[in-house]
Amino acid sequence: MADPAREHDLVLFGATGFTGALTAEHLARHAPADTRWALAGRNRAKLEALRERLGQLEPRWAQLPLLHADVGDRASLDALARSTRVVITTVGPYVTYGEPLVAACAAAGTDYCDLTGEFEFVDRMYVAHHAQAVQTGARLLHCCGFDSVPHDLGTQFTVQQLPEGVPLEVRGFVRAKGMISGGTFHSAVTGMGRPRQNIAAARARQAVEPPPPAGRRVKGLRTRPYREPVIDAWAIPLPTIDPQVVLRSAAAQERYGPDFRYAHHAWVKHLATAAGAGVGLTGVFLAAQLPPTRKLLLKAIAQGDGPSESRRASSWFTVRFLGVGGGRRVITEVTGGDPGYTETAKMLAQTGLSLAFDDVPPTAGQVTTAAALGDALRERLMAQGIGFNVIEESAA
């Protein structure tokens, strides 16, 4: 519901970057006509140019408010957070630029969502700002794009097809065609270059984060490459942030059962392809350890750039899930278009709209999309063309 004490329902920060502009366009097309939203950033001229483009798409947004906000100016971020009920941000790498806005939202009781897939940032923000956000009522949602909405909501959807009150095991298998976004690449390389900081942040979080309630266990499955009949391909362990998000959703919700296990895999047709990708990833990791080579890597894909509309139109993703428990076996699938840009912008925009307008159970602090928004966000995404489907059900 609209809060008359706040000028805006939603503000998009970082709107003039490539993914930010796609997010703005999605909001312009799909936000309710009476939504009080605004664009925020540090470059007024770029914001005005974007507003003009949005006005051409939907004339009612021709006078969309423009707000000055800069990650280097905490006062501007405090003012931004106090002016709105929800902030969406695309400004990364988040470990470099993200914390001041998280801090401002936690202090102001303002809901927040971003696109990060950075382990260190998510863990550090929990340690630094979760407790205050619980006190103020702010919901802090990270990983609201392809990392990790399809995996988080897809696992929740799979669990809902299985019996309640029994041990459950879910495995996810990811296949995609598309170009990695510049922001994701910069975040990944930055994270690879900070292994000690990642470990320290994880340990700091483990020291303060409570375990699941008594009588419940939540655990990741350790796996190795294997041939999986459900996908008729190789399943390769995938060390992204997605399984951590899934397990945190499971820890927060009793519906995942008394003993929940999850494993996350890449879906690879040929083992040689996986081996080549592994060699390439190792090379990127090693290059990220040294400042000169890390700098060269970051020049390979510029932040704020992205593929053409035609290339995005030919991109796609599929995440298939195998769930077992209580004598039942279910295969589900989440499908969509271009994962790195188009669908990520859609997921982020709809997360912000869901935070602003959907009637969901109360939560506060750092929470996942499944725990905070669940079915409401899934229904929004299905209305926007992202598929959540049951492929097969049977006795285990």
Q: Which residues pair with 392 in a beta bridge?
A: 331
Helix orientation angle between 149-160 and 242-252, rounded to the nearest 10 degrees: 40
Is 322 found in the same domain as 194?
Answer: yes
- The total of structural domains in the chain comes to 2
Q: Which domain holds residue 224?
A: 149-337+387-395
Going residue by residue through the chain, which has 396 residues, state the pLDDT in tens, using 9 for 90 and above: 556 789 999 999 999 988 999 999 999 999 999 999 999 999 999 999 999 999 999 999 999 999 999 999 999 999 999 999 999 999 988 999 999 999 999 999 999 999 999 999 999 999 999 999 999 999 999 999 999 999 999 999 999 999 999 999 999 999 998 876 666 676 667 767 788 899 999 999 999 999 998 899 999 998 899 999 999 999 999 989 999 999 999 999 999 999 999 999 999 987 666 656 555 555 555 555 767 766 666 666 666 667 778 888 899 999 999 999 999 999 999 999 999 899 999 999 999 999 999 999 999 999 999 999 999 999 999 999 999 999 999 998
pLDDT, position 186: 66
> Can you tell me which residue has the tokens 């059962």?
257
165 and 88 within one domain = no
8 Å CB contact between 233 and 154: no
First-residue to last-residue Cα distance in the chain: 44
Q: Are residues 287 and 263 in the same domain?
A: yes
Is residue 1 included in any domain, yes or no? no
Identify the pLDDT of residue 24: 98
Any domain includes 3: no
Q: Are residues 245 and 308 part of one domain? A: yes
Place of tokens 């995404």: 381
Residue-by-residue DSSP string for 122-151: HHHHHHHHHHHHHHHT-EEE---BTTBHHH
Has residue 153 been placed in a domain?
yes
Alpha-carbon distance 386 to 114, whole Å?
19
DSSP strands (E only) in 17-151: 37-41, 66-68, 84-89, 111-113, 139-141
Query: Does 382 fall in a domain?
Result: no
Note the pLDDT of residue 80. Answer: 98
CATH of the domain at 112: 3.40.50.720
**Same domain, yes or no, for 175 and 84?**
no
173 and 188 belong to one structural domain:
yes
